[in-house]
C-alpha cells in the first residue's frame, strides 16, 4: 500500500522529487513550502514557489506556514496523519515535535556526500573547493544540522568545468530517483540506516555577497573554481572600466587558459585573463542588465583587447 506522505520543499531543486513521488503513486496528503514573495517592479504581484506551482499542477493542497514552532502549526501537521515526510530544500527548521509527528520519520534529500558540506550551499561549496566528487543522499532527519543517519547515496563525479547550475540539475534528477527508492524500501520495511562518519565534517555556509568578487591574484584553478561554483547564481563578477564608469560583469563559464602575466590582464582576443599563477579563459559572461553571451559576442561589443585590465 502506498505511503501517505507530507512533502516539504521550496525551490526548483525540489520539484523533480515531488513529481517522481506523485508519479510512483504515493498519497501526498499535503505540500509545505515557503510563502509567496512579492514580484514585479512594484512588488504588487505574489510569486509562488516552484514547489507550490508543481503541487497545484497535481491538485495537491499547499500550506505555507511562517513557522513550525507553534502548537497550532504542529497540530495542523499531525492532522494530516501521514506515515512519513519528505524534505527537499524546504527552508524552515523542523523542530522536534514535527520530526516526531510522523511514525516512520522525516527524510531529507541532501546534495552532498555527508558529512562533507552540511548546510545551506553544498553544491556551491563543493565546486568552489575543487572537489572531484559529490552526490545526493537520503537521510533520516534529527534535530542537528544534517546530522541524521544515511539511508541511500548516489555518487556523482564533478567535471572539471562543470558549474553549480550543471550539478544542480544533475543532482535534482538523481536525487528524485534516490528518494523514491528509499521510500519503496521504507514501505517494505527494508530501509537500512547508517550513522554518518564522525570525521570529514565540513559546513556549507550560505554564499555571502562579500565573496562573489573575483580575485585575479589567486591561482587560475582557484579563480576557475570560484567562478563555476557561483554560476549561474549569485555569479562571480569583475569590473570593466568604460567611459561612463566601471561596469560590473559576471563570469559564468570558464576553462583553463594559456599564458600568464600581471593578474587581471587580458592576454588575447579570446578573453583569456591572467591570474596569480596561469590564466583562465572566459567562455560565457553577462554584463549588468544584459543577457548572458559568449566571450566572442562580448568582445565584439566592447573595446576589450589584449593588454587591457579588469579588476
Number of domains in the chain: 2
CATH number at residue 276: 3.10.25.10
- Under 8 Å CB-to-CB from 278, ≥6 apart: which residues? 219, 220, 221, 256, 257, 260
On the question of pLDDT at 85 being above 70, the answer is: yes
Q: What is the overall mean pLDDT for the chain? A: 96
Are 139 and 51 found together in one domain?
A: yes
End residue of a domain, out of 203, 231, 260: 203
Are 61 and 181 found together in one domain?
A: yes
Q: Which three cell numbers stand for residue 271?
A: 578573453
Query: To the nearest 5 percent, what fractions of the chain are helix, strand and coil?
Result: 25, 30, 45
Are 259 and 173 found together in one domain?
A: no
In this structure, is residue 305 part of a structural domain?
no
In this structure, is residue 114 part of a structural domain?
yes
Are 198 and 290 found together in one domain?
A: no
Are 70 and 30 found together in one domain?
A: yes
Least confident of 22-36, 137-151, 160-174, 297-311: 297-311
Are 59 and 195 found together in one domain?
A: yes
CATH number at residue 181: 3.40.50.170
Helix (H, G, I), strand (E, B) or coil at 210: helix
Q: For residues 3-32, give the mean pLDDT.
A: 97
Q: What is the pLDDT of residue 40?
A: 66
Angstrom distance (rounded) from CA 273 to CA 310: 8
* pTM to 2 decimal places: 0.95
Angstrom distance (rounded) from CA 279 to CA 260: 6
Label residue 31 by pLDDT band (50, 70, 90). very high
Where would I find the H helices in the chain? 15-23, 50-57, 71-78, 96-99, 122-128, 164-188, 220-229, 295-300
Q: What is the pLDDT of residue 79?
A: 98
End residue of a domain, out of 170, 185, 203: 203
In this structure, is residue 310 part of a structural domain?
no
Q: Which three cell numbers stand for residue 43?
A: 512588488
Q: What is the pLDDT of residue 43?
A: 64
Q: Which range of residues forms the domain containing residue 67? A: 4-203
On the question of pLDDT at 235 being above 90, the answer is: yes
Are 118 and 82 found together in one domain?
A: yes
Q: For residues 31-43, give the mean pLDDT.
A: 84
Are 155 and 137 found together in one domain?
A: yes
Amino acid at each position: 500500500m502506498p505511503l501517505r506522505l507530507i512533502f516539504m520543499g521550496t525551490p526548483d531543486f525540489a520539484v523533480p522529487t515531488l513529481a517522481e513521488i506523485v508519479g510512483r503513486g504515493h498519497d501526498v496528503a499535503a505540500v509545505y513550502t515557503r510563502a509567496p514573495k512579492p514580484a514585479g517592479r512594484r512588488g504588487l504581484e505574489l510569486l509562488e514557489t516552484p514547489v507550490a506551482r508543481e503541487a497545484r499542477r497535481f491538485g495537491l493542497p499547499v500550506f505555507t506556514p511562517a513557522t513550525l514552532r507553534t502548537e497550532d502549526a504542529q497540530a495542523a501537521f499531525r492532522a494530516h496523519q501521514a506515515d512519513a515526510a519528505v524534505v527537499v530544500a524546504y527552508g524552515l527548521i523542523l523542530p522536534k515535535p514535527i520530526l516526531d509527528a510522523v511514525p516512520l520519520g522525516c527524510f531529507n534529500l541532501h546534495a552532498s556526500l555527508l558529512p562533507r558540506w552540511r548546510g545551506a550551499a553544498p553544491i556551491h561549496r563543493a565546486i568552489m573547493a575543487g572537489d572531484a566528487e559529490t552526490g545526493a543522499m537520503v537521510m533520516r532527519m534529527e534535530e542537528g544540522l544534517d546530522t541524521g543517519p544515511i539511508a541511500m547515496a548516489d555518487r556523482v563525479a564533478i567535471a572539471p568545468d562543470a558549474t553549480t547550475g550543471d550539478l544542480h540539475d544533475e543532482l535534482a534528477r538523481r536525487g528524485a530517483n534516490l528518494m523514491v527508492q528509499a521510500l519503496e524500501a521504507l514501505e517494505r520495511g527494508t530501509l537500512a540506516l547508517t550513522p554518518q562518519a564522525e570525521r570529514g565534517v565540513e559546513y556549507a555556509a550560505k554564499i555571502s555577497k562579500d565573496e562573489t568578487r573575483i580575485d585575479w591574484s589567486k591561482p587560475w584553478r582557484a579563480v576557475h573554481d570560484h567562478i563555476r561554483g557561483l554560476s549561474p547564481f549569485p555569479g562571480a563578477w569583475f569590473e570593466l572600466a568604460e567611459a561612463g564608469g566601471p561596469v560590473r560583469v559576471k563570469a559564468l563559464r570558464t576553462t583553463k587558459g594559456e599564458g600568464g602575466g600581471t593578474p587581471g590582464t587580458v592576454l588575447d582576443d579570446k578573453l583569456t585573463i591572467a591570474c596569480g599563477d596561469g590564466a583562465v579563459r572566459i567562455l560565457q559572461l553577462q554584463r549588468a542588465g544584459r543577457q548572458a553571451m559568449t566571450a566572442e559576442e562580448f568582445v565584439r561589443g566592447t573595446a576589450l583587447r589584449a593588454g587591457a585590465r579588469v579588476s
